[in-house]
Structure 1
Amino acid sequence: MSTAAPGRAKPVGMALPGLVIAVCMIGDTLLYAVLPLYHQEFGLSLAMVGVLLSLNRWIRLVANSGVAHFGERIGPHALMIAAALGSALSTTIYGLIENPTAQILARVLWGISYASLNLSTLAYAVSDRTNAGKRVGASRAAIGLVQALSLVGGAWIVLELGARPVFLIFGAVTLIALGAAIVLPRLPAEPAAKKGFRLPVPHRLEVWGFVMGFAGDGVFLLTLAFLMKDSITSVAPVMATALLLALRWLVEVSTGPIGGWIGDRFGARRIAIANAALLVSGFVLIALDHELLGALMIVTTRGMFNTLIPVLVIERGHGTVLSSQASYSTWRDFGAAVGPLTAPWLFLNVPQVPLYAALALVLGVSAYFCLVRR
């Protein structure tokens, strides 16, 4: 049996890894559209919504590096199977038990599961490192298509059956991912780091990830449903929110492979700088009371970053693939964990104009120092 390093192992197709992570994510993706609007049906306060939507990120602060350390020993295949099982269980708990403690445990389980999914999917993608960007883009495209369909379909189920039954249905659907994970081929494990587990030290890319996580994955996502509630009245707020979030994923379907291909040939950094400028512009538009246009710009550019960032991480070349990606993911998750915790208070106490203007300023400054300056 070959013991070649992952970079020289026979490349593994991305269809099955992409299917596993895509199906596992449907419960968490829908939760962001449903929970802020229907929190009372889950027996939760709005403040607890912020805690729950941030909790999985707090867990991933430790889980990203812990999973990478563990995954270097057992391999991505075993991580995939465990993560698929955890995802099905956590999604089912969302709809099955009306209890804050159970919801907290479900979010903890999902945080660990997603860390495993994210890192192991990347390991499969870079089994062919010369085409890593294209393969990451293809994986993100598969994820985007499934998330877009699940958001629209899930919102329709919510309107027909209610907010909790949809998660029981999605929990059963997630078992498809478990079957796909079991039949995945194995990859050779990377050499384990001799220094053992430790939390990563942030560099420029990690700082950018923190700010983008706080503003884009934290404050913006938690307040999006309320922004759409005030700006779109022709459809139900949950459907408007789901459609807008679905657009982000559809962007990845169309631009993910293209962005990965361009990044492989011309470098992802230039594209990331232009994309960051558009992201900042989206926050500026919301500050100017153009909520729908600004939100459209944010979700599209944020979707593009999901393809660009893994390529930037690989180009940087700090440590093994798993440990390097874990370092960035940890600090992005830190920002996305702080964002939802502070968002309810910010949204209720700070007017929309200064709030989103401040977010735009912080994003712009961090993009300059982290992406533009060498």
Structure 2
Amino acid sequence: MPKQAVRNARLAALTLAFCLPSDVLLYLLLPMHPEAFGITLVQAGILLAANRLVRIFGYSHVLRFYGCRGDRLTLMLAAGAAMFCALGNAMFSGFAALLVLRLIWGLCFAALNLSTQVLATADAGGAAHRAGRSRALIALGPMLALPLGAFASQELGPRSVFWVLAVSCAVGLLIARGLPASGHDLPVNKRRFRLPDSVAAWSFVEGVGLDGLFIFGLSLQAQKMLGEDALLVAGTLMALRYLSEVLLSPLGGRAAQAFGATPMLLLFSVLSALALTAFGMHWVVAGAACVLILRALQLPLVTTLVAERNPGPARVTALASNAVWRDIGAGLGPLLAGLLLPVASAPWVFTVAGLAIAASAVVCYLRR
């Protein structure tokens, strides 16, 4: 089982690694070049939130399909749909067309992300290590695509890069063919809405602060503070996010294995709050770099915590529920950023977000 678990987790992670760049480039390009896509800045925030918000309502359907059909068919369909979305980002303009693409991608990512987490924790022995290695593999695609995409967009225009990213999704589809075809046993749960536990509540707050406000605000802060070099600098910083995951997510998994996932989550969350405050105080490069490094260390901790607190078949639905709450937060984040950052004080916005992350980590620690 351990060797098979490692292989399956690796294939699922690589599938997501080849599909994810078609999404992450939008977080760089939409806030900086909304006019190239025929939208406004506020509409850009809505589009960047839409793919997460649709998962709030769609995760249960994805979960049922995934449980019945298994990893191979689910991820092949998701990768094929991701390729369609990448082509659409290259060809279509206007809010309505792009909104449809973002909704489709949201369901694709739900399937891809769920599979990577389920397969990484399929065997309890070494689950934290596999979760860390899985995050590292997933991060390879965006890490390479962001600086190269930023350069290509600056030279050729912000739409051209998506033709290449469609080919990357096609590679992900081929990799998904090697995944197991069997389904997963799911516990019977008649409740359609599940209230968040302390881990899910932390994921919600972290989604608002780091996956929403910070990632959207990174492009705007860079553009405001760095001028002509903003696109390349922001692209490089976003690439650092994924380079950090490649290098540090396995370390986060080892730290969880050695010292416990909950204490490490508290430590990294408090440090993230300080780094987020520094970013808001216009220490753009240093603050952003620290936030991204700490985020990478946190990623395997959450998956490990959910698996520890929900053993057996309940693990699959608990991982999906936690992902939904993270998506609710990360969906609200860009909406808040698009509304608040043009009119509110950036130091105030990011300081409050940091304090909320630290407070939710304290609650998670106390309710172990």
Q: TM-score, normalised by structure 1?
A: 0.93
Classify 1:131/1:8 alpha carbon distance in 2 versus 1 (closer, same or farther; 3 Å): closer
Classify 1:284/1:38 alpha carbon distance in 2 versus 1 (closer, same or farther; 3 Å): same
Quote the offset at 1:373 in angstroms: 4.8
Secondary structure of 2:297's aligned partner: helix
Classify 1:236/1:165 alpha carbon distance in 2 versus 1 (closer, same or farther; 3 Å): same
Secondary structure of 2:186's aligned partner: coil
Q: Deviations over 1:209-228 (max 9, x none)?
A: 11111111111111111211
Amino acid of the structure 2 residue aligned with 1:228 = A
Are 1:286 and 2:279 an aligned pair? yes
Quote the offset at 1:154 in angstroms: 0.8
Are 1:250 and 2:246 an aligned pair? no
Are 1:155 and 2:153 an aligned pair? no
Q: How does 1:182-201 map to 2 (within 5 A)?
A: 182-186=177-181, 188-196=182-190, 198-201=192-195
Amino acid of the structure 2 residue aligned with 1:340 = P
Preserved contact between residue 270 and residue 357 of structure 2 (Cα < 8 Å) = no
Classify 1:337/1:8 alpha carbon distance in 2 versus 1 (closer, same or farther; 3 Å): same
Preserved contact between residue 198 and residue 367 of structure 2 (Cα < 8 Å) = no
* 2:163 corresponds to: 168
Secondary structure of 2:300's aligned partner: helix
Q: How does 1:296-307 map to 2 (within 5 A)?
A: 296-307=289-300
For residues 177 and 126 of structure 1, what CA distance do their matches in structure 2 show? 21
* Alignment match of 1:98 (pick from 75, 93, 99): 93
Preserved contact between residue 280 and residue 360 of structure 1 (Cα < 8 Å) = yes
* 2:221 corresponds to: 227
For residues 10 and 20 of structure 1, what CA distance do their matches in structure 2 show? 17
For residues 196 and 73 of structure 1, what CA distance do their matches in structure 2 show? 17
* Alignment match of 2:58 (pick from 63, 79, 102): 63
Preserved contact between residue 73 and residue 192 of structure 1 (Cα < 8 Å) = no
Q: TM-score, normalised by structure 2?
A: 0.94
Quote the offset at 1:194 in angstroms: 2.5
Classify 1:156/1:129 alpha carbon distance in 2 versus 1 (closer, same or farther; 3 Å): same
Q: How does 1:205-244 map to 2 (within 5 A)?
A: 205-233=199-227, 236-244=229-237
Q: Which runs of 5+ in 1 are unaligned?
A: 1-6
Classify 1:126/1:365 alpha carbon distance in 2 versus 1 (closer, same or farther; 3 Å): closer
* 1:38 corresponds to: 33
Secondary structure of 1:348's aligned partner: coil
**Paired residues, number:** 366
Amino acid of the structure 2 residue aligned with 1:302 = R
Are 1:86 and 2:84 an aligned pair? no
* Alignment match of 1:295 (pick from 275, 283, 288): 288
Preserved contact between residue 65 and residue 200 of structure 1 (Cα < 8 Å) = no
Amino acid of the structure 2 residue aligned with 1:221 = I
Are 1:136 and 2:131 an aligned pair? yes
* Alignment match of 1:333 (pick from 321, 327, 333): 327
Preserved contact between residue 136 and residue 249 of structure 2 (Cα < 8 Å) = yes
* 2:72 corresponds to: 77
Which segment is superposed worse, 116-125 or 364-373?
A: 364-373
For residues 37 and 139 of structure 1, what CA distance do their matches in structure 2 show? 31
For residues 254 and 92 of structure 1, what CA distance do their matches in structure 2 show? 31
Preserved contact between residue 137 and residue 307 of structure 1 (Cα < 8 Å) = yes
* 1:321 corresponds to: 315
Q: Percent identity?
A: 30
* 1:311 corresponds to: 304
* 1:27 corresponds to: 22
Q: Which runs of 5+ in 2 are unaligned?
A: none
Quote the offset at 1:9 in angstroms: 9.9
Amino acid of the structure 1 residue aligned with 2:359 = V
Quote the offset at 1:99 in angstroms: 2.6
Q: Deviations over 1:327-346 (max 9, x none)?
A: 11111100111111121221
Amino acid of the structure 1 residue aligned with 2:266 = I
For residues 285 and 3 of structure 2, what CA distance do their matches in structure 1 show? 46
Q: Deviations over 1:115-172 (max 9, x none)?
A: 0001112222223321111111111111122211010111111012110111122112
Classify 1:195/1:317 alpha carbon distance in 2 versus 1 (closer, same or farther; 3 Å): closer
Secondary structure of 1:208's aligned partner: helix
Preserved contact between residue 71 and residue 115 of structure 2 (Cα < 8 Å) = yes
Quote the offset at 1:254 in angstroms: 1.0
For residues 315 and 161 of structure 2, what CA distance do their matches in structure 1 show? 36
Q: CA RMSD in A?
A: 1.9
Are 1:260 and 2:260 an aligned pair? no
